[in-house]
């Protein structure tokens, strides 16, 4: 419920990853736990203070949350109040959509983080250095082609790499985003499976098996690379059934 209460605030903050303090996954969790009271008195006070600072910063961007009583913020989903069932949980459809959103945001931001780790900002001087940095910053455009819309604002009506139409094996909606992801990983350093070095397979509507095989190879390469770099499993897109 805490995510639903503070969702506009957190989505705004995620849209500004280089503005002010950068929060780790553990710190985001602590911010939510502070509202639930799931911390020691000292830890909760510290994180509530941190949370109030974020609330204050967000006001100039139109987010209206009363920092004197954050716990009273209503839980909303798609602009409507969230109905809480007798078991204290929201309706299953809302829970499913919220969990999917969290998975999707994590996948997108982790991909950006991995790309920055493998291809850090170049160092150079003069016109040549400026050109290198400009080309590096242009990668954001390429990365944002791996999903529809903005990285921090997933949309269940156009799920990108999570798209499956009626059945998970329906791969057609994912093809444009697979092409974009392939373009991203091809420029990463290190050895790659032979199929990822080649061009993206030709799309034949009569037989999409090569695309499915390519997707599996691309996914395996991504999760292995992420694990090798960060020593933890990667978040991957989940189907929104």
| Over residues 72-92, mean pLDDT | 84
Q: Which of 19-23, 72-76, 105-109, 214-218 has the highest average model confidence (pLDDT)?
A: 214-218
Q: What is the model's pLDDT at position 176? A: 92
Structure tokens at 62: 């139109």
- Of the candidates 64, 105, 74, the residue with the CA atom closest to the CA atom of residue 1: 74
| Over residues 63-80, mean pLDDT | 81
Model confidence at 60, pLDDT cuts 50, 70, 90, reads: confident
Contact 57, 51 (CB under 8 A): no
pLDDT digits over 15-57, tens only? 775 545 667 777 777 777 777 655 565 667 788 888 888 888 8
Q: What percent of the chain has pLDDT over 90?
A: 24
Residue 152 has pLDDT above 90, yes or no: no
Q: What is the model's pLDDT at position 153? A: 81
Model confidence at 169, pLDDT cuts 50, 70, 90, reads: low
Give the residue carrying structure tokens 């553990």.
26
**Coil/strand/helix, residue 7:** helix
State how far the Cα of 188 lies from the Cα of 205, in Å rounded to an integer.
30
Q: What is the model's pLDDT at position 180? A: 94
Q: Which of 30-39, 107-116, 130-139 has the highest average model confidence (pLDDT)?
A: 107-116
Residue 101 has pLDDT above 80, yes or no: yes
- Of the candidates 56, 58, 45, 6, the residue with the CA atom closest to the CA atom of residue 28: 6
Helix (H) or strand (E) holding 76: strand 76-77
Model confidence at 158, pLDDT cuts 50, 70, 90, reads: confident
Q: What is the model's pLDDT at position 19? A: 46
**128-154 burial: b if 16+ Cβ within 10 Å, else e:** eeeeeeeeeeeeeeebeebbbeebbeb
Q: What is the model's pLDDT at position 39? A: 56
Domain spans, the chain:
2-84, 94-230
pLDDT digits over 173-206, tens only? 889 999 999 999 999 999 999 999 999 998 877 6
Lowest mean pLDDT: which of 111-125, 153-167, 186-200? 153-167
Residue 2 has pLDDT above 90, yes or no: no
Q: What is the model's pLDDT at position 229? A: 95
Distances (CA, A) of 10 to 6, 140, 224, 241: 6, 21, 29, 25
């Amino acid at each position: 419920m805490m995510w639903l209460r503070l969702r506009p605030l957190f989505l705004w903050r995620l849209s500004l990853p280089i503005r002010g303090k950068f929060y780790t996954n553990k710190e985001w969790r602590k911010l939510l736990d502070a509202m639930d009271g799931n911390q020691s008195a000292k830890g909760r006070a510290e994180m509530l203070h941190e949370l109030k600072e974020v609330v204050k910063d967000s006001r100039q961007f139109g987010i209206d949350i009363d920092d004197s009583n954050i716990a009273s913020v209503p839980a909303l989903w798609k602009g409507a109040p969230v109905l809480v069932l007798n078991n204290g949980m929201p309706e299953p459809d809302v829970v499913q959509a919220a969990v999917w959103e969290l998975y999707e945001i994590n996948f997108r931001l982790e991909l950006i983080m991995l790309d920055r780790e493998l291809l850090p900002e170049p160092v150079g001087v003069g016109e040549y250095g400026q050109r290198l940095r400009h080309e590096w910053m242009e990668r954001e455009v390429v990365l944002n082609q791996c999903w529809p819309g903005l990285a921090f604002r997933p949309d269940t009506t156009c799920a990108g790499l999570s798209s499956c139409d009626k059945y998970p094996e329906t791969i057609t909606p994912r093809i444009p985003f697979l092409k974009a992801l392939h373009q991203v990983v091809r420029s990463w350093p290190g050895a790659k499976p032979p199929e990822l070095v080649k061009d993206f397979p030709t799309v034949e509507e009569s037989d999409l098996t090569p695309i499915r095989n390519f997707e599996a190879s691309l996914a395996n390469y991504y999760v292995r690379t992420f694990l090798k770099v960060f020593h933890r499993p990667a978040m991957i897109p989940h189907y929104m059934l």
